[in-house]
Structure 1
Amino acid sequence: MILDAETDLQLERTLQLPTDVIWRCWTTPKHLKHFFMPKPHQLVSCEIDLRPGGRFNTVFEVEGNEMRNEGVFLELIPGRKLVFTDTYTEGWKPAENPFMTAILLLEPLNPDCTRYVAIARHRNAEARAEHEKMGFHTGWGIVADQLEAYARQL
Structure 2
Amino acid sequence: MTLELDPATDLSFTRTLAVPRRLVWECWTVPKHIPHFFIPAPHKVTSVEIDLRVGGRFNTTFDVEGNTMENPGVYLEVVPEEKLVFTDAYSEGWKPAAEPFMTAILLLADTPDGGTSYTAIARHRNPESRKTHEEMGFFDGWGTVVTQLEAYAKGIVA
TM-score where L is the length of structure 1: 0.98
The one of 19, 34, 45 aligned to 1:43 = 45
Provide the rounded CA distance (Å) in 1 between the counterparts of 2:74 and 2:140.
Answer: 25
Provide the rounded CA distance (Å) in 1 between the counterparts of 2:94 and 2:39.
Answer: 26
State the partner residue of 1:60. 62
State the partner residue of 1:106. 108
Per-residue deviation, residues 16-36 of structure 1 (Å, max 9, x unmatched): 010000000000111011000
State the partner residue of 1:19. 21
> Over aligned residues, Cα RMSD in angstroms?
0.7
TM-score where L is the length of structure 2: 0.96
Per-residue deviation, residues 115-134 of structure 1 (Å, max 9, x unmatched): 10000000000000000000
Per-residue deviation, residues 38-94 of structure 1 (Å, max 9, x unmatched): 000111100000000000000011111010010100000000000000001100111
State the partner residue of 1:74. 76
* Aligned partners of 1:18 and 1:111 also within 8 Å: no
Secondary structure of 2:19's partner? coil
The one of 3, 7, 10 aligned to 2:9 = 7
Secondary structure of 1:66's partner? strand
Kindly indicate whether residue 155 of structure 2 is the aligned counterpart of residue 153 of structure 1: yes
Provide the rounded CA distance (Å) in 1 between the counterparts of 2:112 and 2:24.
Answer: 14
Give percent identity, aligned residues only: 61
Unpaired segments of 5 or more residues in structure 1?
Answer: none
Shift of 1:11: 1.6
State the partner residue of 2:127. 125
Shift of 1:111: 5.8
Secondary structure of 2:134's partner? helix
State the partner residue of 2:99. 97
TM superposition outliers: structure 1 runs of 4+ over 4 Å: none
